[in-house]
Structure 1
């Protein structure tokens, strides 16, 4: 990448790459929807302009037009790579059930091609030639920063896992067969995780079953609902009201049940019309 002050110092400071990949990797965003993708490209381009204006990481020694093209180009290239990789890995909802696996695959999928991009651009722009032997030194910095950025963007952009209403005449969701006898025939309002158990909130009362929430949500497909919190799934038909206080939202459900809404999911649920 770019070194401080002069072209000669650019050639003599490869170790400083570790400090300069943050902006370039900024664009390794885990965008999934078209709206998120557009937002990612806009933010990435803006980050490139910001880095160029302030001559970040010693690039003030480079003419403004060159560093503008360098930073914006790298940020947008990272956005392209990140968007393609995240869509390939996360399509058809496969990312929802295994977020850590999804994140790891995204990091690897972005790091490998983007390392080549950073190497190619930096070598041509500042070394006036390609040094194949220099390629490995870009790998570790790109991997480290990509891991950090993927984790950050995953937390910021994470969307709640949703379930969808089944067509008329479709079989009942598999999860319904797991309801204890005393709850069967009732309306399912919510599922709440309690340690290794799930508390089932229904129109016929409550009970516990031994199961993981992620497995339960997969079997709840067929009922319109969503995770509102890492330990809650809520049926949309059960929501009667929503309250906000202390920066948090709470859903009031049938049966006088209150379900928390995590800040990570609040925006997506609000946009989907939950409150």
Structure 2
């Protein structure tokens, strides 16, 4: 009697399994990759490379005695490492345009403290014995930090200028008669936007969700779904249904959290609820 192949183990099943794996892998990659560039990119990296170029030319921290190729490699490695530290800080702390100067000042001391150790370490990686005076290093690092701070101020200024001005009588919040302190969240419903108030009431207006996001860009809040935005001060909790989350808003409303934006909600400490 000829053997009968199981539908679960035959070629068709194996092909379907491979397709399923590829689909899951692509879905994971789509969720893992950031939807937008991290805060400060690429201006931060340009500023750090500009600072490296200045140090290469001037021979800062006693590197003038090194050959040009060694001096170039030293400063590129050191400044890229510091750019990575600043980038991590901005990704952690910058949520809105007004955060830039505060976070830049906050990082000045802790990110510059390790420099007296980092300089000899980078020198050792290049086969160079480099000794530095900590206070001299910190003084020069303060000058470099001024450049970083200036870039941050420039970024904040550019972002604020790019925010499309909305006339007071035609903006979403004005039409809904909702002040910023009353706003709990915004949800897209087809070509409409539902504005949730913190007293539990809501209003439905014909408005593009993308335009609504631009209008609230300066407020402390975050997009948590392809069609949902919440104000930070209006999040009252969260509840979980299987693998899905919903944020509970002041006043009793709720909005969904998609996998794409869950990392932002989790970073803000919102996804701590029952479920």
Pick 1 or 2: higher relative contact order, CA cutoff 8 A, min separation 6.
1
Q: TM-score, normalised by structure 1?
A: 0.39
Higher helix share: 1
TM-score, normalised via structure 2 length: 0.39
